[in-house]
Chains A and B, each alone.
Chain A
Amino acid sequence: MERIPILRMGDFLLVTIQVDMHDRLAMTLQDDLTTRISKTGATGVLIDISALEIVDSFIGRMISNISAMSRVLDAQTVIVGMQPAVAITLVELGLTLPGVKTALDVEKGMQMLRVIGGGSVVPPESDGDDDRQEY
């Protein structure tokens, strides 16, 4: 079955959406992320939507759900890279995405996650003694 890959970067999970998702694929991503967060104990989730050409109410609901579900699992979700035309359209569609954190790009999103969660982007199996970055 077609799936959107979830990459692990230390305490964070990174998802880059690169395809025009049909609804079931979006639902699968939501379920996969839930499983991965609880399995890995990730403290942050970064979803890069810079390649997404639209966000309709279904994708909007998926984003809200992922964000709410990750909070329940003690992780934070940041959506990064929303195209300006998508943002403008979202507002007119009537979607407000309350409680959903956004950042301009992956780097800023990562920074945001570190500040909120105090997690590390260095994989746990790395040789560093204490690479944990505290803010």
Chain B
Amino acid sequence: MATMIVRSTETLPIRAEADVVMVRQKARAVATEAGLGLVDVTKLVTATSELARNALIYGGGGTALIESLQDGIRKGVRLTFEDQGPGIPDIEKAMTDGYTSGSGMGLGLSGAKRLSNDFSIHSVVGQGTRVMIARWK
């Protein structure tokens, strides 16, 4: 049975809007290097942008872990966004298309899920939020 190998890993801070741009660019570089096609790269980077912005705006800042993965012959990219912000009291509601507690379009979480092959979210009120996405070649 094949085991999953982490080919590279990098953690980037998300403290300002310019960091969101940096995370997008790094995600693009890693996804392209892993051999993902343009549409897959675009989907992953768009999801990345949404989740990095959420970590900044709602989470008060955090980090993005970018990993290049190999699972057997499959290559992919996984991103984990983490913050120590207020957490999400009702994840189901937050995942609903169009729901925003701020002034957004309410498509970040639900859209990021649709744009990714793997998606998971873990949030504890008062402790923070962690969202993981992955896209495979």
Which residues of A pack against B, CB within 8 Å?
Answer: 20-24, 53-58, 60-61, 83, 85-86, 88-89, 92-95
A20 to B22, CA, bound (A): 10
How many contacts A-B (CB < 8 Å)? 69
Cβ contacts B95-123/A at 8 Å (1 or 0 each): 00100000011011011001100000000
Closest 8 pairs between A and B when the two form their complex, measured CB to CB: A93-B111, A22-B17, A85-B42, A56-B49, A57-B105, A57-B107, A94-B107, A85-B39
Which among B42, B97, B115 has the greatest number of chain A C-beta atoms within 10 A?
B42
Known: A54-B24, A89-B42. A23 touches B104 (CB 8 A): no
B50 touches which one: A53, A56, A85 (CB < 8 A)?
A56
* Interface pair B42/A54, CB less than 8 Å apart: yes
Known: A23-B53, A53-B42, A85-B39. A95 touches B20 (CB 8 A): no
Min Cβ gap A56→B in Å is 4
- Which single residue of chain B is at the shortest CB-CB distance from A64? B105
Known: A57-B104, A58-B53. A22 touches B42 (CB 8 A): no
| 16 additional contacts (CB under 8 A) given A57-B104, A61-B105, A94-B114 | A20-B25, A24-B17, A53-B42, A54-B24, A57-B108, A58-B104, A61-B104, A83-B42, A85-B38, A85-B41, A86-B42, A88-B39, A89-B115, A93-B46, A93-B115, A94-B111
* Interface pair B115/A92, CB less than 8 Å apart: yes
A64 to B17, CA, bound (A): 21
Residues of B within 8 A of A92 (CB): 43, 111, 114-115
* Interface pair A22/B107, CB less than 8 Å apart: no
- Which single residue of chain B is at the shortest CB-CB distance from A93? B111
A132 to B44, CA, bound (A): 46
Interface residue? B2 (CB, 8 A): no
Interface residue? B21 (CB, 8 A): yes
Residues of A within 8 A of B104 (CB): 57-58, 61
